Amino acid sequence: MGSNPSQPIDYQQLCKFIASCFEAAGVNSEDASVTAKLMARADLMGQDGHGVFRLPQYIKRIASKGINVKPDIKLIEERKATALLDGDNALGHLVMSRAADLAIEKAACTGVAWVGSRFSNHAGPASLYAMMPLKKDMIGIYVAVGSANHLPPWGGTEMLLSTNPIAIAIPSANNPPIVLDMATTVAAYGKVKTAAQNGETMPEGWMIDREGRPLTDPARAAEGFLLPIGGPKGYGLSLIFGILAGTLNGASFGRDVVDFNADSESVTNTGQFIIALDIAAFTDVSGFKQEVDDVWAQMKSSPLLPGHSEIRLPGERLAQVTQQRTENGIPLSPSLLSELAKLADELGVNHIV
């Protein structure tokens, strides 16, 4: 391990490290590079639970033949504005960047496009893909079936549903893009894990136990389940996102979902979809972006509730963190750096620092 584990890591350095690990694990250099850039970008965006933090898990899965490093990602259904990709059990980043490119290409002609995936895998944070259409002045929407079930249907106790996140990204003129990236549960499971690591108590409303009582000790998380936002509404969203991203694509949903934390071997058959919506199909692009700036200014101008110091827009913090980390590097915890050093030794590649 390097001499100063608390020193932030440069984005390029992180890309290089991740790519070298993938290559050592048998991924070809182009796929390794594409995946590494997307994972490092997740860290750059502040999505710490979805970037290099996942690398040891992905490598373990590759070693267990749970991910195919020589995939043939195929277009298996296509219409003018839709497509379905079979990811051939590739790294999810490869499948979903292909899906995003295809959606953008189609939407440039048809105005909107919806591209789904089957036999994909965990692909990192939802916002990564929802933001891809922004570069072409398009709005992006991304939904995934989560990679482990954490909640029952409303009123039940069998964990048949995942947090099934949605991300939506909308460009503005002079402000950061508006980017909502949310689980359909009050708390994402990563927040529970973080609370457990830090020995913190969870607020009531995050989880309940099998008797329906509030569960606030994150060390007891296995005894309960996450609560959906708005009770039955969040349950409905999780269910419907699961059908649209999973069932419709011939991907896993419900009892079929493989808990990829517990099982590194079984094919997950993860399903996702992305929508690209071309703003120019509806209105003048620069005028629209100005209007989004005006929406931004309106929200910011609201008087504050007691106890609040500012109004935030979805995506505002993401943009701030991205800028900070681009300038100053990406901070990685000593425990993560130590885990990555161990991984590097196992794979016979250079340490990150």
How many residues bind a second copy, per CB under 8 A? 78
> Which helix or strand (DSSP H or E) is residue 192 part of?
helix 189-197
Residues 179-198 that bind a second copy (CB under 8 A): 180, 182, 186
Residues 145-174 that bind a second copy (CB under 8 A): 152-158, 160, 168, 170
The answer to the question of residue 220 lying near a second copy (CB under 8 A) is no
> Which helix or strand (DSSP H or E) is residue 126 part of?
helix 126-130
Q: Which stretch binds a second copy (CB under 8 A): 12-20, 36-44, 232-240, 325-333?
A: 232-240
> Which helix or strand (DSSP H or E) is residue 290 part of?
helix 285-300
Q: Which stretch binds a second copy (CB under 8 A): 12-20, 66-74, 76-84, 121-129?
A: 76-84
Q: Pick from 234, 264, 325, 340: which binds a second copy (CB under 8 A)?
A: 234
The phi-psi region of residue 124 (left if phi > 0; otherwise alpha if psi is between -120 and 50; otherwise beta) is left
The answer to the question of residue 75 lying near a second copy (CB under 8 A) is no
Q: Give me the least distance between CB of 200 and a second copy, in Å please.
A: 19
Looking at beta carbons only, is 63 or 295 nearer to a second copy?
295
Looking at beta carbons only, is 182 or 341 nearer to a second copy?
182
Residues 22-51 that bind a second copy (CB under 8 A): none
DSSP-based three-state secondary structure for 143: strand
Q: Compute how many other C-beta atoms are within 10 angstroms of the C-beta atom of residue 91.
A: 29
On whether the CB atoms of residues 213 and 194 are closer than 8 A, the answer is no
The answer to the question of residue 214 lying near a second copy (CB under 8 A) is no
Q: Pick from 40, 84, 95, 100: which binds a second copy (CB under 8 A)?
A: 84
Long-range contacts at 31-37 (CB < 8 A, ≥ 24 apart): 31/69, 31/90, 31/91, 31/94, 34/93, 34/94, 34/97, 35/91, 35/93, 35/94
Radius of gyration of the chain (CA): 20
The answer to the question of residue 298 lying near a second copy (CB under 8 A) is yes
The answer to the question of residue 79 lying near a second copy (CB under 8 A) is yes
Q: Give me the least distance between CB of 238 and a second copy, in Å please.
A: 10
